Amino acid sequence: MVKDVEEALTPDILNEDKYERSKRIAWIDMKKIQRTKVLVIGAGATGNEVLKNLVLSGYKNITIVDMDYVVRSNLNRCLFFSEEDAVNRRFKAEAAAQRIQEIDGEINIHFHTKKIESLPKTFIPSFDIVLGCLDNIAARLHVNAICYHHGIPYIDSGTDGLVGKVQVVLPPKTACIECALNKTHAKILEKRFSCSGINITFFEPKLAAEITTTSVVSAIQVREALKITNGMNGLSINNLFYYDGKRNVSEILEIPINPSCSHHHAEDADR
């Protein structure tokens, strides 16, 4: 009996389990993680890092949506893209999906090279959790509205140089993306920023981008996804996680529910 226990605890046996170290976190349930259907919207810099973290964390059912193609300026902060992808102007979602499959051949990966707004109304509600790695407000509001209406957790992110943010929307308990909308957002609602320049409706200088900021923000996003997946919503960010890489600080900024927000106003009317 003692010999059997010793053999079961040998380093070689432990090292055979790909997720052995993750399972040492008491609330991690790999079966739940592997069953969860995850939608990642945006396959740029943050999307690349989010996808990497999801795959290494054990998620097996992932769908990517991104309408852009790879350009050379993506290559200093996008793990899944190559020089060849840039030369051939390959779709970001397609390139990322292929590289993910190479990392984990057991993963169920799908991709769509369209605007999220153009996909059927039933598309987003078919997922358990949505991670937004978007570069425009209009798409964020579209995803936020559908997720909130159907009660789907939505984890949104954004970066600008050394600054980044993550907001977790857990309907109906937390504020949503629209709750924090201000006049500045409204003015730029139809603008779109794209490395490729495709389908831009308004020209404006591109935002600064820096890989370490992207790495921090994406890590927070996936960590929040893990909490939600494992039923640890009580540990989730309830407001806005704000990261300032220049000062090396992070803060939680309060976002109260806006009673004038269309989503929450509709809830009040139903009561």
Task: Say if pTM beats, i.e. exceeds, 0.75.
Answer: yes
| Predicted local distance difference test score (pLDDT) of residue 88 | 97
DSSP 163-177: EEEEEEE-TTTS--G
**If you average pLDDT over residues 231-237, what whole number do you get?**
94
**If you average pLDDT over residues 97-122, what whole number do you get?**
96
Kindly state the tokens that stand for 201. Answer: 């409706």
| Predicted local distance difference test score (pLDDT) of residue 9 | 54
Work out the pLDDT band at 190, boundaries 50, 70, 90.
very low
Give dist(CA 209, CA 198) in Å, integer.
19
| Predicted local distance difference test score (pLDDT) of residue 15 | 81
E strand intervals along 37-118: 37-41, 61-65, 108-112
* 217-255 CB burial, b ≥16 within 10 A, e <16: bbebbbbbbbbbbbeeeeebbbbbbebebeeeeeeeeeb
Q: Which domains does the chain have, with CATH numbers?
A: 26-270 (3.40.50.720)
**If you average pLDDT over residues 175-182, what whole number do you get?**
84
Give dist(CA 154, CA 132) in Å, integer.
7
Give dist(CA 169, CA 153) in Å, integer.
6
Query: What single letter denotes the amino acid at residue 262?
Result: S
The owner of tokens 């308990």 is 173
| Predicted local distance difference test score (pLDDT) of residue 203 | 41
- Contact in structure between 179 and 258 (CB atoms under 8 Å): yes
| Predicted local distance difference test score (pLDDT) of residue 24 | 93
Work out the pLDDT band at 201, boundaries 50, 70, 90.
very low
| Predicted local distance difference test score (pLDDT) of residue 10 | 61
Report cis status (omega within 30 of 0) of the bond before 153.
Answer: no
| Predicted local distance difference test score (pLDDT) of residue 137 | 87
- Please determine, for residue 122, whether its predicted confidence score (pLDDT) is greater than 60: yes
Quick: pLDDT tens for 216-228: 999 999 999 999 9
**If you average pLDDT over residues 169-174, what whole number do you get?**
94
Instruction: Give the mean pLDDT of the chain.
Output: 87
| Predicted local distance difference test score (pLDDT) of residue 37 | 98
**If you average pLDDT over residues 252-266, what whole number do you get?**
84
Q: Give CA separation, 46 vs 36, 37, 157, 219, in Å.
A: 21, 19, 8, 9
Work out the pLDDT band at 8, boundaries 50, 70, 90.
low
**pLDDT above 90 coverage of the chain, percent:** 75
- Residue 82 CA to chain centroid, in angstroms? 22
- Contact in structure between 111 and 63 (CB atoms under 8 Å): yes
**What strands lie across the sheet with 240-244, from one edge to the other?**
108-112, 61-65, 37-41, 129-132, 154-160, 163-169, 240-244, 249-253
